[in-house]
Amino acid sequence: MYDDTCRFLAENFSADFASWLLGESITLTELKPSELSLEPIRADALILLESDESVLHLEFQTRPKRDIPFRMLDYRVRVYRRYPDKMMRQVVVYLQPTGSDLVRQTSFSMERTRHEFDVVCLWEQPAAFFLQYPGLLPFAALGQTDDSEAMLRQVAQMVNQISDPTMQANLIAASAILAGIKLEDEVIYRLLRRDIMQESTVYRSILAEGEARKQREIAINFLRDGFPVEAVAHGTGLSIEEVQQLRQQMDQSSPS
């Protein structure tokens, strides 16, 4: 849910993310993982945006993981293979406060190989900064502030002033979802209008993605039990091509 929300914001407010992480307001377009022959096992958590000169690679995480440094190297090499002349900025953004030392890891080292990337811990970023850009408003309640509830109230006031009803609904939904990392539902729904949120594109797409993910999980379980592709497709509602792709992914990830 958090991955989907952050992806929606990054893809629809790319200039705001570029201002934050690249230091310049440029419009970025989506670079699909399939264009880099990335294994789908991690593609769901990957956000790649590109301009003519550079690529911005974003990973949003609620909890640190030990394999992130290697993933950064892996993705960097894959992008270099396709775009050797483009600069690349890689940023891991941690959403939830933690005392783990893993969030301080900014490099991968192996023998004579060393690769560096950037890390942003949202709870260490001044919350007021995110109020400067519409696409970053949903992160404000997770930023450094003495009162997250008061910050979310300020976000609600600013979003309510947006004249575009679609943008307003999407930002309300994104703000509600991300604020759930830090605040109780009762507080969130008291400050943000649920009726508007439920009409948003991001809210509906996240519900649809959750249903699609559930279908894929069921299909994988059926395949592991030896059911034929046609039966799995019939039982889950997925197409035969989608089930065949899942089986191929399972074969690739299985030890030889």
For 62-80, the pLDDT digits (tens) are: 989 999 999 999 999 999 9
**Residue holding tokens 């930023």?**
143
Q: Find, among 192, 168, 166, 169, the residue nearest to 179 by Cα.
A: 192
- Tens of pLDDT, residue by residue over 158-179, are 999 999 988 999 999 999 999 9
Q: Is the pLDDT of residue 38 over 70?
A: no
Cα–Cα distance measured from residue 218 to residue 214, given in angstroms and rounded to the nearest whole number: 6
Q: Is the pLDDT of residue 129 over 80?
A: yes
Q: Give, to the nearest 10 degrees, the angle between helix 165-179 and helix 201-224.
A: 50
Give the pLDDT of residue 41.
44
Name the band, by pLDDT with cuts 50, 70 and 90, for residue 57.
very high
Give the pLDDT of residue 242.
85
Percentage of the residues of the chain whose pLDDT score is greater than 90: 59
The mean pLDDT value for 51-69 works out to: 93
Handedness of CA 190, 193, 199, 202 (dihedral sign): negative
Name the band, by pLDDT with cuts 50, 70 and 90, for residue 40.
very low
Cα–Cα distance measured from residue 56 to residue 31, given in angstroms and rounded to the nearest whole number: 9
- Contact by Cβ (8 Å): 3, 45: yes
Give the pLDDT of residue 31.
86
Q: Is the pLDDT of residue 254 over 80?
A: no
Cα–Cα distance measured from residue 7 to residue 202, given in angstroms and rounded to the nearest whole number: 10
> Which residues on neighbouring strands pair with residue 213, listed in sequence order?
none
Tokens of 114: 């060393």
Give the pLDDT of residue 171.
94
DSSP line for 105-150: --EEEETTEEEE-EEEEGGGSBGGGGGGSGGGGGGGGGSB-S-HHH
Beta-carbon contacts of residue 29 (< 8 Å; ≥ 6 apart): 14, 49, 50, 51
Residues 197-200: contacts with CB under 8 Å, at least 24 apart: 197/169, 197/172, 197/173, 198/173, 199/169, 200/166, 200/169, 200/170, 200/172, 200/173
Least confident of 36-40, 129-133, 172-176, 250-254: 36-40
- Contact by Cβ (8 Å): 27, 51: yes
Give the pLDDT of residue 192.
87
Mean pLDDT of the chain: 88
Tokens of 242: 């989608």
Cα–Cα distance measured from residue 253 to residue 50, given in angstroms and rounded to the nearest whole number: 29
- Residue 138 CB-half CA count within 13 A: 28
Amino acid letter, 184 = E
Tokens of 226: 């030896």
Tokens of 27: 């419009």
Q: What global pTM score does this model have?
A: 0.78
Residue 233 host element (H or E)? helix 229-236
* Highest mean pLDDT out of 59-73, 127-141, 170-184, 202-216: 127-141
Q: Is the pLDDT of residue 212 over 90?
A: no
